[in-house]
A and B are shown apart, each in its own frame.
Chain A
Amino acid sequence: MSEDLTYRRPVSTWWWLHKRSYFLFVMRELSSLFVGWLVLYLLLFVRAVFQGEDEYHDFLDRASSGPLLVVNVVAFGFVVLHTVTWFGVTPQAMDLRLRGKKVPKSAVLGAQYVALAVVSGFVYWLVTR
């Protein structure tokens, strides 16, 4: 028999809707788009600050309502998803040993949240003092 009769099953474009774990994965990956958007937003924010007091207040005004606010709310949700999923997979991706003993996964997870708290506290203080 010289003909190849094995059947190759095609993969649907919507493969990621077929399983909950696949869907969460794609949402996690999509967060990258919103991280990129927020970098742009923050640059525009900083630019408004450099441009002067009126521009700064105008910027805050424009960001307080409408489609821009909706996008930012969604973006923030995706940033939270990114942080939670990133912290969640890091322990699996690393084999850390301290003096020969394996560092427990919970310690790696906890350390990241501590770092998040410290950095957030610092930035909040720096900006609002």
Chain B
Amino acid sequence: MTDGRIELHVTRYRPDKDTEPGRQEYEVPLREDWTVLDGLNYLKDEVDTTLAFRWSCRMGICGSCGMNVNGEPKLTCATFLSDYAPGPIRVEPLANFPVVRDLVVDLTDFMEKLPTVKPWIIREDDVTEIDGEYLQTPEELDAYKQFSMCINCMLCYAACPVYGLDPDFVGPAAIALAERYDLDSRDHGARERLDVLIEHEGVYGCTFVGECTRVCPKHVDPAGAIQRYKLKAAQQSVKAFLLPALPKGLRQRMDQ
């Protein structure tokens, strides 16, 4: 491919100067192996040092560089300029999040929501030091491995119309991570997470649009996790309504 140029139309928002975001047009070299992130770094180094954006690993594992490229949530380090030739390419801050400055968004909402689903191993035996390791077979690992691949890049939140319309919705990644721990054989915390996710802003706010799964760069399939969680919660609800006064031991055995 010949080295030409390609236009990037980048959202600019300077809170001290602007009342709302605008757009600035730039040109970057169209190198075959350059990603949108490379283009942004070229701009910041050579053209406009005031441009603000997040990035880190540049190899699709840290989850920092999520932005909307031509309307689609993407990791800019994994999105090649040449795929959009001849351009122009619209680069906007990640959708459904408030804009702090230029391409930087405020992720506080997710940061506050994530701990509410308790994404850690919860044990009933209150043990803080164990003799050796917790053992897990490959099959037990397989049960939750896919959902553990989440890099918290938030592309799923940017793609989810429900989250866009109702910011109270817990959202795809948080639910997928709850499911990851529910399915972990070392964990006993399913009941606690269910109490959070059975609320309306939990799993039942999801209408299975499926966009979250489509845009996920790590193939986590949050939509699948959410539907499975809905079924699990419904099964527990049926039991709770039909058999309310069971002794705890029997109920625990039924939960497994």
- Which residues does A use to contact B, with CB under 8 Å? 5-9, 11, 15-16, 18-19, 21-22, 25, 29, 89, 92-95, 100
> Can you list 16 A-B contacts with CB-CB less than 8 angstroms, sorted by A residue number?
A5-B16, A6-B15, A7-B20, A7-B98, A11-B164, A11-B165, A16-B161, A19-B71, A21-B210, A22-B209, A22-B211, A25-B210, A93-B224, A93-B231, A95-B228, A100-B139
Interface size on B, residues (CB 8 A): 29
**Cα separation A7 to B213 with both chains bound (whole Å):** 27
- Chain B: minimal CB distance from A75 (Å): 21
B96 to chain A: which residues have CB within 8 Å?
11
Q: Shortest Cβ distance from A30 into chain B, in angstroms? A: 12
Name the contact of B99 in the complex, choosing from A6, A11, A18, A92 (C-beta under 8 A).
A6
Residues of A within 8 A of B139 (CB): 100
B161 touches A15 (CB 8 A): yes
Encoded as 1 (CB less than 8 Å from any A CB) or 0, chain B from 201 to 228 comes to 0000001111101100000010110011
User: Inter-chain contact count A-B, CB under 8 Å?
Assistant: 60
Q: How far is the CA of A44 from the CA of B227 in the complex (A)?
A: 35
Q: A7-B20, A18-B71 are in contact. List 12 more A-B contacts (CB 8 A).
A: A5-B15, A5-B16, A8-B99, A9-B99, A11-B96, A11-B164, A19-B71, A25-B161, A25-B209, A92-B213, A94-B227, A94-B231
Closest chain B CB from A103 CB (angstroms): 14
A89 and B208 contact, CB distance less than 8 A? yes
Q: Is the CB of B13 within 8 A of A21?
A: no
Contact A93 B214 (CB under 8 A): no
Q: Are B13 and A93 in contact (CB under 8 A)?
A: no
Asked if A93 and B208 sit within 8 Å, CB to CB, the answer is yes
Q: Which of B163-206 contact A (CB under 8 A)?
A: 164-165
Q: Is the CB of A93 within 8 A of B207?
A: no
- Contact residues in B for A16 (Cβ distance below 8 Å): 161
Separation of A9 and B167 alpha carbons in the complex (Å):
12
Determine whether the beta carbon of B228 is less than 8 Å from that of A6.
no
Give residues in B with beta carbon < 8 Å to A.
13, 15-16, 20-21, 71, 95-96, 98-100, 106, 139, 161, 164-165, 207-211, 213-214, 221, 223-224, 227-228, 231
Q: Residue of A at shortest CB range from B215?
A: A21
Contacting residue for A92 out of B95, B161, B227, CB 8 A: B227
| Residue in A closest to B21 when the chains form the complex, CB atoms | A7
Contacts of A94 in B (CB 8 A): 227-228, 231
Q: Which residues of A contact B228 (CB under 8 A)?
A: 93-95
What are the 5 closest A-B residue pairs judged by CB atoms, nearest first?
Answer: A93-B227, A5-B15, A6-B98, A7-B99, A92-B224
- Interfacial chain B residues near A15, Cβ < 8 Å: 161, 164-165
What is the bound-complex CA distance between A30 and B193, given in angstroms? Answer: 32
Q: How far is the CA of A7 from the CA of B101 in the complex (A)?
A: 8
Give the docked Cα–Cα distance between A15 and B162 (Å): 11
Contact A21 B231 (CB under 8 A): no
> Given A7-B99, A92-B213, are A22 and B161 neighbors across the interface (CB < 8 Å)?
yes
* Chain A residues near B21 (CB-CB < 8 A): 7, 9
Which chain B residues border A5 with CB–CB below 8 Å?
15-16
Residue of A nearest to B166 (CB): A11
Q: Known contacts A7-B98, A9-B99: does B207 contact A29 (CB below 8 Å)?
A: yes
Residues of B within 8 A of A89 (CB): 208, 210, 227
Q: Do residues B20 and A21 form an inter-chain contact, with CB atoms below 8 A?
A: no
